[in-house]
């Protein structure tokens, strides 16, 4: 019997924001399905180059680019807006663009810096943490938004929201004040076509991503353990997120590629075990588990790189 599909409180703000906006446009795609199409939860990358205590994220994609990819895979066109670092900041223009998109329905916005979302009682501890929400109305200078971190029907002053939306502390963004709206479905790709597009995306991300990160991380933990910053990241975020992503992708792949689906299922289980070893501060066990994950990810990577697609 294969692993059941997980539903629950997982920090997939970008996916939940896309699901909410698609629903408003009349399309009912479930978050686990959308998250599989985001192709975020494969491989890993170093966020810093500390030889003893590196910070590692278990993904090889970026949320803003993945939102665009996901919408395109499903056959949607959309209007988008963002400010590159070289662009001049024009607050009136940003507001006008948002208001224009809102005429057609809610808008996906992000990345945001959670440290500036003052309706969240923990915002003071969340500076530099990236986030996505949906805006569904703009009344004068008041934004109405749904925040998938557990804050529906929030209101925030537009000027106050800009400091979050500028996302100065978020390194990966393609630009500040990023938004997607005015969705229209111009194609209805078949499930097989969607699987093909996803497989190409996974192949491309492995080709361009960092290699052997998980094995290197296992070696570093075996030698140096974890510092408080690493441990906190794993206590609250990374292993449970990686487990859910692997679970969702496994369920999606099961219809098309059983070998890849089984590898992802095993990784989902091991990431759950990694969370428990981290809580126990059993760093030797954690290193062993991560080494097993690294081997499975390498097998999964090989199968992704071998993907040829439709003849």
Give the 3-state secondary structure of residue 151. strand
Give the chain's mean pLDDT.
Answer: 95
Contact 173, 11 (CB under 8 A): no
51 vs 304: which has the higher pLDDT: 304
On the question of pLDDT at 311 being above 60, the answer is no
Q: Shortest CA distance to 47 belongs to which of 60, 38, 36, 35?
A: 60
On the question of pLDDT at 84 being above 90, the answer is no
Q: Average pLDDT, stretch 4-27?
A: 95
What is the spatial distance between Cα 81 and Cα 89, in angstroms, rounded to a whole number? Answer: 13
Q: Where are the domains of the chain?
A: 13-72+187-305, 76-185
On the question of pLDDT at 133 being above 80, the answer is yes
pLDDT by residue (tens digit) across 244-284?
999 999 999 999 999 999 999 999 999 999 999 999 999 99
Give how far the C-alpha of residue 119 lies from the chain's centroid of Cα atoms, to the nearest Å: 22
Burial (Cβ within 10 Å: 0-12, 13-18, ≥19) of residue 78: buried
On the question of pLDDT at 49 being above 90, the answer is no
pLDDT at 171: 87
Q: Average pLDDT, stretch 159-173?
A: 93
pLDDT by residue (tens digit) across 214-252?
999 999 999 999 999 999 999 999 999 999 999 999 999
pLDDT by residue (tens digit) across 137-163?
999 999 999 999 999 999 999 999 999
pLDDT at 120: 95
pLDDT band of residue 2 (cuts 50, 70, 90) is confident
**How far separated are the first and last CA of the chain, in Å rounded?**
32
Q: Average pLDDT, stretch 5-29?
A: 95
pLDDT at 300: 98
| Residues 148, 154, 157, 158, CA torsion sign | positive
Give the 3-state secondary structure of residue 153. strand
pLDDT at 310: 64
On the question of pLDDT at 291 being above 60, the answer is yes
Residues of the chain above pLDDT 70, percent: 99
Residues of the chain above pLDDT 90, percent: 88
What is the spatial distance between Cα 14 and Cα 16, in angstroms, rounded to a whole number? Answer: 6
| Cross-strand partners of 133 | 109
What is the spatial distance between Cα 265 and Cα 61, in angstroms, rounded to a whole number? Answer: 20
Domain 76-185 has CATH 3.40.449.10: no
């Amino acid at each position: 019997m294969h692993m059941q599909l997980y539903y629950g409180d997982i920090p997939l703000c970008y996916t939940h924001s896309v699901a909410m906006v698609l629903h408003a446009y009349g399309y009912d795609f479930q978050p686990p399905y959308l998250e599989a199409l985001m192709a975020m939860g494969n491989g890993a990358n170093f966020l810093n180059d500390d030889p003893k205590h590196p910070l590692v994220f278990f993904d090889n994609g970026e949320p803003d680019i993945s939102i665009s990819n996901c919408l395109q895979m499903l056959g949607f066109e959309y209007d988008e807006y963002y400010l590159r670092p070289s662009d001049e900041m024009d607050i009136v223009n940003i507001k006008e663009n948002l208001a224009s998109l809102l005429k057609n329905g809610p808008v996906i916005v992000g990345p945001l810096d959670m440290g500036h979302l003052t309706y969240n009682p923990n915002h003071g501890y969340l500076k530099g943490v990236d986030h996505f929400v949906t805006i569904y109305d703009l009344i004068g200078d008041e934004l109405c938004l749904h925040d998938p971190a557990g804050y529906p029907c929030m209101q925030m002053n537009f000027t106050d929201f800009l400091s979050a939306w500028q996302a100065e502390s978020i390194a990966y963004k393609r630009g500040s004040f990023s938004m997607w709206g005015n969705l229209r479905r111009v194609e209805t790709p078949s499930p097989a076509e969607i699987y093909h597009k996803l497989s190409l995306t996974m192949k491309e991300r492995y080709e361009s991503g960092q290699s052997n990160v998980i094995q290197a991380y296992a070696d570093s933990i075996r030698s140096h353990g974890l510092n408080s910053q690493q441990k906190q990241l794993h206590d609250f975020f990374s292993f449970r997120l990686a487990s859910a992503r692997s679970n969702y992708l496994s369920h999606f792949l099961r219809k098309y590629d059983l070998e890849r689906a089984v590898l992802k299922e095993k990784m989902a289980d091991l990431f759950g075990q990694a969370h428990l070893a981290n809580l126990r501060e059993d760093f030797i066990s954690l290193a062993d588990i991560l080494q097993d994950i690294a081997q499975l990810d390498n097998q999964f990577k090989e199968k992704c790189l071998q993907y040829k697609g439709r003849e």
